[in-house]
């Protein structure tokens, strides 16, 4: 469910009305003319019976089979995977329809608009001993726990919650986020920025609404000038005790486990899942929609392009088991020397 602390919901509303507003009235025919009241929008694995969800391609099939969503927008090839309790809206361009519906249900989906129209939120709530630096801006509905320090020129967007004993350094922005206790955020960090999601690649490049959140659990530390994008629908999560170096980019819907260490210049593409205790060297990257198992070590400058099990030791681009990596290096060195007997 999209968090209405951050994104105003224009529903509940009947599907027929929403489709008409989005210019898709003909799509209702795939439901046999039956209507449905949309009470919210969620990811497949989190959706409730009143929610709308999306299954745009075969990568969604397992989540689709287990969903509790009352209505799913799907591509034709996924009809057999729809659970008995769910209705299926079958269209040729499921992702396009889903984005059109999001634009109707969440018309004010950007932070600049939300910050300007937050009259339905309570005034900020600050517990005792909160310290605010010069020129700090705090939006409506913000909650900050005791003994937290906010540095100069920092902007806390509407609805954000920050726990106790946190240090938020100067010139930081936090939007669409819930921050735990004992968190340290260094200067210039951007949390809750829009994820990099687009339709019609290379043509219209239409923006996909980014309606999710960032969840930063207890004792996380985030280095200077790092950026954490909010989820597209669900959450981008940083597990407790994880430490992020400077200049790290974490894309939308990434889920990072507990007590991980991620060195500078690392970039995680959207929906990367990292298990507990993973170590990532400087300048590493992932191609997104993949999992790196708990306890793995990714050596510097590695480029991870597929799933890896727990305890993996990776190096190279594309990343491979480090033993294979060193064997290849040794073979290449041997070949490059040639036959010295000639």
Give catalytic residue positions. Answer: 252
Q: In the numeric block, which tokens belong to residue 46?
A: 């989190």
Beta-bridged to residue 138, according to DSSP, are: 156
Instruction: State how far the alpha carbon of 115 is from the alpha carbons of 11, 175, 190, 231, 303, in Å.
Output: 20, 10, 16, 19, 38
The answer to whether 236 and 272 are in contact (CB under 8 A) is no
Q: DSSP label at 26?
A: G
For residues 189 and 172, the answer to whether their CB atoms sit within 8 Å is: yes
What's the CA gap between 281 and 264, in Å, rounded? 8
d(CA 341, CA 123): 82
Give the side-chain half-sphere CA count within 13 A for 176.
34
Q: How far apart are CA 304 and CA 42, in angstroms?
A: 28
On the question of a cis peptide bond just before residue 251, with omega within 30 degrees of 0, the verdict is: no
């Amino acid at each position: 469910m999209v968090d209405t602390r951050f994104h105003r919901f224009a529903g509940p509303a009947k599907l027929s009305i929403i489709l008409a507003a989005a210019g898709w009235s003909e799509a209702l025919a795939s439901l046999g003319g039956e209507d449905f009241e949309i009470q919210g929008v969620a990811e497949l694995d989190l959706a409730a019976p009143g929610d709308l969800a999306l299954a745009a391609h075969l990568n969604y099939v397992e989540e689709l089979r287990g969903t509790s969503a009352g209505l799913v927008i799907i591509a034709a090839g996924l009809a057999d995977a729809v659970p008995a309790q769910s209705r299926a809206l079958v269209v040729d361009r499921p992702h396009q329809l889903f984005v059109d519906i999001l634009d109707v249900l969440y018309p004010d989906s950007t932070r600049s608009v939300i910050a300007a129209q937050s009259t339905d939120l309570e005034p900020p709530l600050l517990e005792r001993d909160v310290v605010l630096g010069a020129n700090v801006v705090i939006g409506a509905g913000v909650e900050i726990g005791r003994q937290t320090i906010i540095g100069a020129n920092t902007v806390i967007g509407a609805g954000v919650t920050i726990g106790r004993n946190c240090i938020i350094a100067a010139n930081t922005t936090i939007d669409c986020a819930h921050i735990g206790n004992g968190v340290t955020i260094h200067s210039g960090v951007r949390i809750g920025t829009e994820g990099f999601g687009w339709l019609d690649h290379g043509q219209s490049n239409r923006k996909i609404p980014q309606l999710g959140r960032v969840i930063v659990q207890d004792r996380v530390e985030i280095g200077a000038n790092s950026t954490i994008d909010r989820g597209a629908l669900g959450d981008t999560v940083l597990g407790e005790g994880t430490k992020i170096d400077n200049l790290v980019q974490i894309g939308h819907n990434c889920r990072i486990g507990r007590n991980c260490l991620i060195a500078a210049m690392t970039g995680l593409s959207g929906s990367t899942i990292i298990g507990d205790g993973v170590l990532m060297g400087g300048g590493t990257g992932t191609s997104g929609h993949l999992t790196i198992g708990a306890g793995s070590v990714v050596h510097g400058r590695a480029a991870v392009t597929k799933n890896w099990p727990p305890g993996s030791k990776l190096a190279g681009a594309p990343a491979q088991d480090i033993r294979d990596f060193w064997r290849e290096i040794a073979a290449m060195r041997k070949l490059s020397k040639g036959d010295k007997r000639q």
